[in-house]
Chain A
Amino acid sequence: MEETYEIRGTNWLDSVQKLLASVFETSSVTSMLVPVRHSTTHVLMPTLVSDPGELEGADPFAPCFPLNSAKLVSKLTKKHSNEIIAAVLRPCELRALVELVKIKQATMDNLITISFDCAGAYPNREYNRTGAEGKAAEGKAKTLGFMEQRLGSKLDDDTDKQLSTSCRICTGPFPENADLCITLLDHDPGALGVFAGTDRGRELIMGKAFEVKSLPGTRADTVKEVLQRKKEAAKKVFEDLAGKTATMAGLGNYLASCVNCYNCRVACPVCFCRECVFNTDVFDYEPFQYAAWAKNKGTLRMPMDTVFFHLTRMIHMGLSCVGCGQCSNACPNDIRVAELFTAVGKGVQQGFGYEAGKSMDDPFPLSVFFEDEFQDVTGI
């Protein structure tokens, strides 16, 4: 029977900071990647903390999601190091990390992963705007207010209009396969639960001075409700999207304001290329070629290769998309990239019976193939 613990701090942030501090004690973890709020601002950034004293500013629960930390974990673990680090990650960041490990861009060998019931986040612009002059204390208060409202409504997304669409339609907000999983739903306010998702996590949590207490009995039902609501929300969003992009012309329209800044690919955690092929000489055209195309078609929308870029990105990372929504976050022209890519991603993953980020043992669908499969693909 999996041991579960309960931590009752003065509030959620206090509880989680107690847990994170305990990870430093009695384990060989030397630093921890966790969103930290510096005392001078309300904004959070992932920070590599090695002094447990600095955990005072740690706030993983704020509705602030500036970038997908899987990319940062990749930088920290891509090459071998003897240091053992911990990382506090949203479920989508953890899924992205699993996908990155499959393509050798990160390793989990010397990494402790900590994840939690994710209440979602606001788009960057929203979060940065509210409290533009704010300071740390305000930021912290905002987080606690957010938590109260979210957990109180049992993650009913309709009650918080500021949530990003990706979070609304996310069907994986609960931690799976993390070394330590933090539960928030249905606990008393300010309290949180912890259980180990792996053997390594089990070793870590054993012997910690936390109260052994089983998870709230209503959790299973609440989780089911939440997932049901999110599935329906996703369905609506995808249907709406399909209506707009049923044809290539529709897709072109949808992406009409794209300027090829490639921010979305920089923000995407599973877009792992050092430099996107669209930025290389493969797409450097000669002036006479532009002229020829313009002559052929009458008009030539510039910059070129916009739809090409997005279709290619779908092909390259659709099977790895974890639905984190950072692409929309990053787009300067507010194109709803995340919905498009999440929809495509889910569709193609289903087609291959694959779920991105679910398990290290599931091979990437294009890395394996068998003699007798998919007979329906061929022929006329």
Chain B
Amino acid sequence: MGEKQGRALVVGAGISGIRSALDLAETGCDVTLIDAAPHMGGVLSKLEYQFPSDGCGMCRLLPMADRDTCLQACLRKGLVHGGIDLMLSTTLKGLEGEAGKYRAILETEPSIIDPKLCTGCNRCSEVCPVTIPDPFNQGLSTTKAVHLPVPHAIPNIYTIDMDHCTLCGECETVCPFGAIYLPGEDRLELKIPRTLVEMDVGAVVLACGIDYYDPLSGVNTFGYKALKDVVSNIELERILSGTGPFNGSLKRPSDGQVPSRMAWIQCVGSRDLEFPACSSVCCMIALKEAVLVRKRSRQTIETVIYYMDMRCFSKEFEAYRRRAENEYGVILKRARPHSVRYDRNTGGLSLYITDDSGIRVDEMFDMVVLSLGQRPGKSVKELAEITGIGLNPLGFFEDPLSGEGDKTGVFAAGSASGLKDIGESVIHSSSASAMALKVIHGARSPHDEEREPLNGFRDVSTQVPDIGVILCQCANGPDIEPQVKSMGASDVHVSGVMAMDRICTREGWDGMLETLAEKTFNRILVLACTPQLFLDKKAAISKAVNLDPAYIDFADLGKGEPLAATVKMGLARIRYADRLNSRASAMVPTVLVVGGGLGGMTAALSVADTGFEAIIVEKESRLGGNLVWLEKDITGNDFGRLLDNTCRRVEKHPGIRVFTNAVVEDSRGGPGNYTTSLKTCDNDSKIIDHGAVILATGGREAETSAYGYGTSDAVMTHREVEQALKAGTMDPVNLNVVVMIQCVDSRNDSREYCSRICCKSSLKHALEMKRLNPELDVYVLYREMMSYGFSETYFKEAREKGVIFIRYSQELQPEVLSGTDGVMVKVHEPILDRTLEIRSDLVVLATGILPSVIKPLAALFDARVDDYSFFKAADSKWRPVDAVNGGVFACGLALGPRDAKESVASARAAAMGALRLISSKSAGVSLVTAGIKPSLCTLCERCIDSCVYGARTLDSDAGKIRIDPVACQGCGSCAAVCTNSASFLNNYLDQQMFEIIDAAI
């Protein structure tokens, strides 16, 4: 244990854990990924509809470079990556040591069902006498005690709910593979008992996720569980899902009828006395669910959302809200329903609601959805004790704006530190991986020698195909050996058909490997009933016969298709299996960071701390960006100190080079290999070679001319207030009345997006001013208070301290009239239903954030900007800091409005993305990738236009199309577009496809 460890432990295999594990594995670390459940996927395994497509896109998390190390299939099936050891039903029980040298104690639950033997045939479930509420569908449907925990997962290993199992033994008897071994009096020990494993790891990432508020734990005025048609948002997601209780039809749980009117109640378990924080995600979830209901019902079901503030604070969320209201007719009503009661006359649900004037305006609905707030994950408390990570007052992992003195090797990732949506969780978990990587990057990984280099395999590229067919002949199935042998005999490339017995068993598998090792086949086709079980075993076969895995394939006998078709299709596919000769040139181990603010500096540090080089290009004369004028954030973090510390670290770091007074002029190349020219001070040109680029060009407070700004000294912006307070030129003691106006020039037709931080800034300044002058009257005029997450507690504090919040609408904006004796602010107060006139000394405008012009810069690297001129991420949820092509990243304000802590997380995530790319082994070009036959190409350039990844370019000098093997993702669009197949997709060649189609019929 004295040696520094290169293995990372990721606790929790939900989306955050998956992201962290992949990050670390792609940079060459060995990763152990554990989850307490018998399946992976976390909460997301139950959620299928995500913003912005209202569908799924989870598979975009998978690696882009070195694709073949990871199973290329829907991520809901599972994560199978060469560098990640997945241990299910496993929890972290103890952790000793220090950063870089931990000893972790992992406990794995006993397995009644042996995962190595279970094939998912379902026979046990059929005979099980015990019916239980199905936990996957939140209890809305039933299943047996022995069941498949998650429908998609492969291997689809069954599990037994031992709390309800009657130990009748039927399942054990009927299992054809002997996979079940129930506990019993005469059985001293289970076949797979509870095991404790000690593991040496260098860093630990805690991605244990969240839990949901249980309405039954409170007063439950909404009748949850008492009234069947009052469901939680998760339950609604299950109802809407194809694998849900009603197979995707929207029906009321009570009587199976289609509802005609549905209501959502927001903030159930959030923003209340017991949990004074905002769960951040529920507003968007409710909007999305309402839109889905409207879409699915062709706008026949009425949807009403009752809310306090509609918190659509991320970049594209406000636009989504508008679409929900305008295009889909989702009705938003500002109210806090008191309770839900069953109406005996109509059989419906009555919501007790009062309007702004206090009048009862009860409404009737068929179904009510409770937007439940988030709570700390079940294991968070225990893990905090084990690892020493602190908890915040609400029980989530602490997530401080970490100082560089931290010596920890344990990092919280994703929503476990609270109150994030998927996009934020993914960013945060990449940020945690970056910090973990810093700890373990140099350590030697004990598995390094075992990774087989591609060059070690036999070179069979020039040989005629010599196919060996392995037929898994199950004793349970019909005897198909004679048929398969005869098909093999009539195929000129097949030189052997060998029947094996049950390769799903240890003996069968080893027997097969032994047999194969004696032969010299250069293609191997394995016919088995559930090939999904073996997808991660391809590597084992490949090693045993010293054959590149590209030449090994499986065919599925269990699909119910005729045997002849299956076998012949399998043969057709494998006959043409081959790798392209193209090799990617080595990745340049340097990252160019454009912009030296907090984001840029943090990204550069993350890159350099892991042994790569970072180059910062900053157009001003000093580093720091906006941090130069900011004093502190709402939690009191001292930005001056942060600025000094960060700048100092950057300047001292041997791995970082800084160019100030410099800009990027031009660039060419692709992911892994860019050549960029900089224009430095004194007009010199500098050429930089780098593998990735991070755009951290930042943003600024928006200028305005609204509300008399510029005509009166009494009207200021928040930046000016911050600077004045910091410099001491403003003393709140001298003020009597301050009015703050939110959403200036924002969330309207000309600037649609919410700038996210302005409400927090106002709360920060309001509280600061109140602290210095408790007698000060502060009014905040708002449309929506976007104090999401833990900052909601500051909203509460501000109200307690007497700050008055007045809601105004877009139609009836406040007026500011500057006169000789101060400023008069007129605003219509909706609850009093009167216009107030507030005479104030100071009016502070929250004007929002604009990005620094980024479009031309992004275009140099083939990246895009969105409609608001911020960087356009490839996917706001699954690839939130990446450009589509995988070589360009962005962080901080360039990505979108965010506060300092969020900027830091995004910067680390961007650095992590860049590191994933430049760490990839360049020799491993994926099997499925595009190729070109130049002699057939007429340079029509249709392939170039069809590639979303920008992987194809025209080399006009050579008159050829060039393919960048790193950028190419093997989608095949270019091949389909090319009329004479000059462009083709390897492993999906025309000849191959024709033969497969032929064989199928």
Contacts and interface: CB of A to CB of B under 8 A. Distances in A.
Given A103-B941, A104-B941, A288-B492, A280 B936 contact: yes
Given A277-B979, A282-B981, A316-B979, A103 B940 contact: yes
Contact of B990 (A277, A316, A367): A277
Contacts of B221: none
A1 interface: no
B913 to A, nearest CB: 26
B980 interface: yes
B945 A105 contact: no
Interface in B123-140: none
Contacts of A316: 979
Interface stretch (A85-93, A228-236, A268-276): A268-276
Contacts of A288: 492
B936 A275 contact: yes
A282 B979 CA distance: 13
Interface in B935-991: 935-942, 945-946, 977, 979-982, 989-991
A367 B936 CA distance: 21
A366 interface: yes
B492 A282 contact: no
Contacts of B936: 273-275, 280
Contacts of A272: 938, 940, 979
Contact of B980 (A105, A275, A366): A275
A105 B939 CA distance: 8
A273 B977 CA distance: 12
A277 B977 CA distance: 13
Nearest to A272: B938
Given A274-B980, A276-B980, A367-B945, A105 B990 contact: no
Nearest to B993: A282
A247 B991 CA distance: 27
Nearest to A368: B945
B808 to A, nearest CB: 35
A156 B996 CA distance: 53
Nearest to A78: B939
A286 interface: yes
Contact of B937 (A274, A276, A286): A274
A367 B942 contact: yes
Contact of A105 (B938, B981, B989, B994): B938
Contacts of A280: 936, 980-981
Interface in A329-353: none
Contacts of A105: 938, 940
B9 to A, nearest CB: 42
A281 interface: yes
Given A275-B980, A276-B980, A367-B945, A281 B991 contact: yes
Contacts of B942: 103, 367
Nearest to B940: A103
A316 B976 CA distance: 11
Interface in A197-212: none
Contacts of B941: 103-104
Contact of B938 (A273, A282, A286): A273
A282 B938 CA distance: 18
Contacts of B937: 274
A268 B977 CA distance: 19
A237 to B, nearest CB: 27
A74 B990 CA distance: 29
A367 B946 CA distance: 7
Interface residues of A, number: 17
Contacts of B982: 273-274
B938 A277 contact: no
A104 B937 CA distance: 12
B490 to A, nearest CB: 8
A262 to B, nearest CB: 12
A367 B940 CA distance: 12
Nearest to A275: B936
Interface string A252-281: 000000000000000000001111110011
Interface residues of B, number: 20
Contacts of A273: 936, 938, 979-980, 982
A275 B936 CA distance: 6
B972 to A, nearest CB: 15
A275 B492 CA distance: 30
Contacts of B945: 367
A321 to B, nearest CB: 14
A282 B940 contact: no
Contacts of B979: 272-273, 277, 316
A366 B977 contact: yes
Nearest to A279: B980
Given A286-B492, A288-B492, A277 B981 contact: yes
A231 to B, nearest CB: 31
Contacts of A366: 977
A272 B939 CA distance: 10
Contacts of A281: 991
Contact of A282 (B935, B946, B977, B991): B991
A367 B937 CA distance: 18
Contacts of B991: 281-282
A26 B492 CA distance: 71
A354 to B, nearest CB: 16
Contacts of B990: 277, 282
B110 to A, nearest CB: 47
A74 B945 CA distance: 21
Nearest to A282: B990
Nearest to B938: A274
A90 to B, nearest CB: 24
Contacts of A276: 980
B835 to A, nearest CB: 44
Interface string B89-130: 000000000000000000000000000000000000000000
B483 to A, nearest CB: 17
A273 to B, nearest CB: 4
A282 B977 CA distance: 16
B898 to A, nearest CB: 28
A367 to B, nearest CB: 6
A340 B981 CA distance: 25
Nearest to A102: B940
A68 to B, nearest CB: 17
Contacts of B981: 277, 280, 282
A134 to B, nearest CB: 38
Contact of B940 (A104, A275, A277, A286): A104
B27 to A, nearest CB: 35
Contacts of B994: 282
A42 B267 CA distance: 90
A288 B491 CA distance: 9
A371 to B, nearest CB: 9
Nearest to B989: A282
A274 B981 CA distance: 11
A272 B982 CA distance: 13
A272 B938 CA distance: 7
Nearest to A286: B492
B983 to A, nearest CB: 11
A269 to B, nearest CB: 13
Interface in A85-113: 103-105
A277 B980 contact: yes
18 contacts: A103-B940, A103-B941, A103-B942, A104-B939, A104-B940, A105-B938, A105-B940, A272-B938, A273-B936, A274-B982, A275-B980, A276-B980, A277-B980, A277-B981, A282-B989, A286-B492, A288-B492, A366-B977
Interface of A: 103-105, 272-277, 280-282, 286, 288, 316, 366-367
Interface of B: 492, 935-942, 945-946, 977, 979-982, 989-991, 994
| Minimum-distance CB pairs A-B, first 5 | A277-B980, A273-B980, A103-B940, A282-B990, A316-B979
Given A104-B941, A282-B990, A316-B979, 15 more contacts: A104-B939, A272-B938, A273-B936, A273-B982, A274-B938, A275-B936, A275-B980, A276-B980, A277-B980, A280-B936, A281-B991, A282-B981, A282-B994, A366-B977, A367-B945
